[in-house]
Chains A and B, each alone.
Chain A
Amino acid sequence: MHELSLTQNIVELAIEYARRENARVILSLTIEIGALSGVMAEAVSFAFDVCSQDTMAQGAQLEIRHIPGLGRCMACHEQTEMETLSYVCPACGSLALETLQGQEMKFIEMEVD
């Protein structure tokens, strides 16, 4: 449910940057969401249509890039892809992994006119 307030942030941020650039309209936005961020891309897409209504971002294309999760085993130090936070090291079976990548939620860029 917090996707709604995150998406409101995206729209506010987009408008702020667009105004700074003297743009009339926002055509597309690119954001990154990590597999381990706890944010559902589908919920952000859905919320974006609602949040952007009657703003200069209305109708803009929202591109969401998926960042895969990456962890390192704290026992054997092997790196492994992890799609969830509860993950078992495939090399040694340890349960303790630290997260290296996949928790990001980032607004990368946008196309304006």
Chain B
Amino acid sequence: MCINCGCNGEPNHHHRHDPPTRTVRVEEDLLAKNNRLASANRQQFSTHDLFVLNLVSSPGSGKTSLLERTLTDLQNCLRFAVLEGDQQTSNDAERIAATGVPVWQINTGSGCHLDAHMVGHGVDHFELAATDILMIENVGNLVCPASFDLGEDHKVAVLSVTEGEDKPLKYPQMFQAADLMLINKIDLLPYLRFDLEQCKAFARQINPRIEIIELSCHSGAGMTAWYDWLTSGVAGKRAKKE
């Protein structure tokens, strides 16, 4: 029976019987689904005292070379696992596998970034209880990965001196989201017109709290500072739990 007039819903009546259009309040963040999955990842990582870094940069900044060198130098004192994100190929995963560190390749196909769902399944391939650091090498892209939390402790932005010192101004979201900026390939500085101090000033303009380490994974310059940062990150993560 119609609640408006008590009729039995006869056609051609004086008012509509189907409910009128109505407004539904949603009030959800567009990234809510990803953020929920990222929180679940973060909780899982914490259970295992795992220190997790999300490495972001433009293509060709030297992320994979930096990882190769880091793994080779530190794998006797820290247990690593690496998730590799690329649109296509398992070339990077093969390079990491050659160091002897467990690695899993995620191919995003047409996707321009890793998301928390991909990472959640990616880590199923590792023994997390026997891992100290998880390195997630994101798709080479300074735009999209900035918005997607993967459950990491820190985003680490890698910028190489061949790219131009104004990258932090051109891609501010990424440099604001990062806690650490690694300026890579500093062995090439004598051959380039790259203003290192200006680059650091630009990064701090976007993100006053950002830490900066200058290094070259080719010559080895500055790598000790990076290794100290990693080691204290792992220790800090353990201490936080205790």
Tell whether A pairs with B: yes
**Residues of A bordering B, CB below 8 Å:** 1-2, 5-6, 9-10, 12-14, 17-18, 21, 23, 27, 31, 36-39, 74, 84-86, 95-96, 98-99, 104-113
CA distance A31 to B25 in the complex (A): 11
In the assembled complex, the CB of B191 is this many whole angstroms from the nearest CB of chain A, namely 28
In the assembled complex, the CB of A51 is this many whole angstroms from the nearest CB of chain B, namely 13
In the assembled complex, the CB of A13 is this many whole angstroms from the nearest CB of chain B, namely 6
Does the CB pair B24–A17 fall under 8 Å?
yes
Cross-chain pair count, CB within 8 angstroms:
98
Q: In chain A, what residue has the closest Cβ to B201?
A: A95
Does the CB pair B30–A106 fall under 8 Å?
yes
Any A CB within 8 A of the CB of B173 = yes
Any A CB within 8 A of the CB of B206 = yes
Q: In chain B, what residue has the closest Cβ to A18?
A: B24
Binds A, one of B52-60, B63-71, B107-115: B107-115
Does the CB pair B26–A107 fall under 8 Å?
yes
Q: Mark B144-156, 1 if CB is under 8 A from A, else 0.
A: 1011100000000
Does the CB pair A112–B144 fall under 8 Å?
no
- Tell me how many residues of B have a C-beta within 8 Å of chain A: 35
Does the CB pair B30–A1 fall under 8 Å?
no
For the complex of A and B, 4 pairs with smallest distance between CB atoms: A85-B172, A2-B144, A95-B205, A96-B208
CA distance A86 to B198 in the complex (A): 14
CA distance A41 to B206 in the complex (A): 23
Interface SS majority for chain B: mixed
Does the CB pair A105–B204 fall under 8 Å?
no
Interface SS majority for chain A: mixed
Does the CB pair A31–B30 fall under 8 Å?
yes
Residues from 174 to 213 in B contacting A, C-beta threshold 8 Å? 176, 201-202, 204-206, 208
Residues from 61 to 95 in B contacting A, C-beta threshold 8 Å? none
Any A CB within 8 A of the CB of B23 = yes
Any A CB within 8 A of the CB of B124 = no
Any A CB within 8 A of the CB of B228 = no
Does the CB pair A105–B27 fall under 8 Å?
no
In the assembled complex, the CB of A83 is this many whole angstroms from the nearest CB of chain B, namely 12
Q: A9-B30, A85-B176 are in contact. Are A2 and B208 (CB under 8 A)?
A: no
Q: A1-B144, A109-B23, A110-B24 are in contact. Are A86 and B115 (CB under 8 A)?
A: no
In the assembled complex, the CB of A109 is this many whole angstroms from the nearest CB of chain B, namely 5
Does the CB pair A111–B23 fall under 8 Å?
yes
Any A CB within 8 A of the CB of B169 = yes
| Interchain CB contact (< 8 A) of A21 among B22, B113, B206 | B22
In the assembled complex, the CB of B106 is this many whole angstroms from the nearest CB of chain A, namely 15
Q: In chain B, what residue has the closest Cβ to A1?
A: B112
Does the CB pair A38–B173 fall under 8 Å?
yes
Does the CB pair A38–B143 fall under 8 Å?
yes
In the assembled complex, the CB of B113 is this many whole angstroms from the nearest CB of chain A, namely 6
CA distance A10 to B30 in the complex (A): 7
24 sampled A-B residue pairs with Cβ under 8 A: A1-B143, A2-B113, A2-B143, A6-B31, A9-B31, A9-B34, A13-B33, A17-B24, A37-B147, A38-B173, A85-B173, A86-B169, A95-B201, A105-B31, A105-B147, A106-B29, A107-B26, A107-B28, A107-B29, A108-B27, A109-B24, A111-B22, A111-B23, A111-B24
